[in-house]
Amino acid sequence: MRPSADAIGEPLSQQPGPVLAWIEKREARSEKREKYMKLFTPLTLPNGAIVPNRLGKAAMEESMSDDDHAPSAALIRLYQTWAEGGAGLMITGNVMVDRRAMTGPECVVLENDRHLAGFRQWAGVARSHGAQVWMQISHPGRQMPAILGQETWAPSSVALDMGKLSNQFRVPGEMSPTAIAEVVQRFARTARLAEQAGFTGVQIHAAHGYLLSQFLSPLTNQRGDAWGGAVENRARLLLEVARAVREAVSPQFVVAVKLNSADFQRGGFSPDDAKYVVQQLNGLVDLVELSGGSYEAPAMQGEARDGRTLAREAYFLEFARDMAGVAKMPLMVTGGIRRKAVAEQVIDGGIAIAGMGTALAIDPHLPNEWRDGKESVPVLRPIRWKNKVLGSMAVMAVVRFQLCRLSRGRKTDPKVSPLWALILDQLHAVRGARKYRRWMAQQAAR
């Protein structure tokens, strides 16, 4: 029975119990609907580009290039699935700016226009449902597997410390000023090609221990010249890359940066360092995504965090809120988000976009499901291995297992054995490394 108009007009304290309960229930529903709608409101970036909603697919390394390290048919099918899923923003996995510097044997490379038609197809499919689609452009520095047979370079000759797995990476050589200048130009060239291919933006990868992140950290950057020492010098390469990219593309093309809020190593890149970098990026880039960790300290993998409370599900939310005090550009936070309530918490906290990786690898249609009112919560089988590095590798292997299934038009299998997924992933990497070395030999013979 609905309350009378007269009853509704009375103060709440004077209304009968059933009427008060009905009104409170209606107001609660209205508040919930308003909170939910925040996830699906558009976001206008500083350059005028519009992101249709506040849910972003964060970068995941797909390892799905074709034999020429261009986008494969499987990769394009994968992005068709994500495009249909409803995310307002999709950021690709690593696209390398240099074929000699790869994060894995089957990475996509964009350093010239030889395969631009394939990149156009990739961008077109990804944008087919209206999402912003940004290419993540990256250089691994010292985080290039030794099995690929290439020399590795870094700001300083500091080897990766991964315990018994350290020999999987070579001790890097220290980069010369000439090599540093070449890297800047490579990032700019790849960004220009990405725009020509039809992507709506690029994300410069300066997190997770890759080259730009290595320059930012005093643990890996021990230089005594203008590129090392104080944070002003350590941030110089990232800022020069961002400026070069901005100059290489049109004003309507988005330039974003992925940045560690911290690398979780004593004496490393700190939250104060991150604040300085964000301040320097004000007015230069359109969005900063905050994450954290590296190969040595994988903050986002395994059981590094206690997932029992909603507040801890968004690993880097506390850092992002702190950064919001100095950032003039919108921020995106990524790390473990898989529940609608947490995504809402992120947006309510003043963060512009809630980024998801693993959740969308398990359920690519999660944004549309949330829009339809479903409370879907995709989860993987827990990995509680004592060896954190192996645990991190297993998490990535399980995620890639899901991506592989999606690229073949199959349903995901979140309960797959982590050990089995890791074995398959390692076998795939060995085969891919052989193909990569042959490909590099062919390139040298041309």
Distances (CA, A) of 27 to 6, 8, 33, 350: 18, 13, 10, 23
pLDDT tens digits along 248-273: 999 999 999 999 876 555 667 888 89
Structurally, what CATH architecture does the domain formed by 43-445 represent?
Answer: Alpha-Beta Barrel (3.20)
Tell me the average pLDDT across 285-311: 59
How many CB atoms are closer than 10 A to CB 9? Answer: 9
Whole-model pTM: value is: 0.88
pLDDT band at 298 (very low <50, low <70, confident <90, very high): low
Q: Domains of the chain: which residue ranges?
A: 43-445
Q: Which two tokens stand for residue 73?
A: 């048919």
CA distance 152 to 146: 8
Give the H/E segment covering residue 354.
strand 353-356
**Upper half-sphere CA count for residue 349 (Cβ side, 13 Å):** 24
The reported pLDDT for the residue numbered 12 is 46
pLDDT tens digits along 336-377: 899 999 999 999 989 999 999 999 999 999 999 999 999 999
CA angle 219, 221, 225 (to 5 degrees): 140
How many CB atoms are closer than 10 A to CB 415? Answer: 9
Q: Is the dihedral of CA 8, 12, 18, 22 positive or negative?
A: positive
Tell me the average pLDDT across 289-314: 52
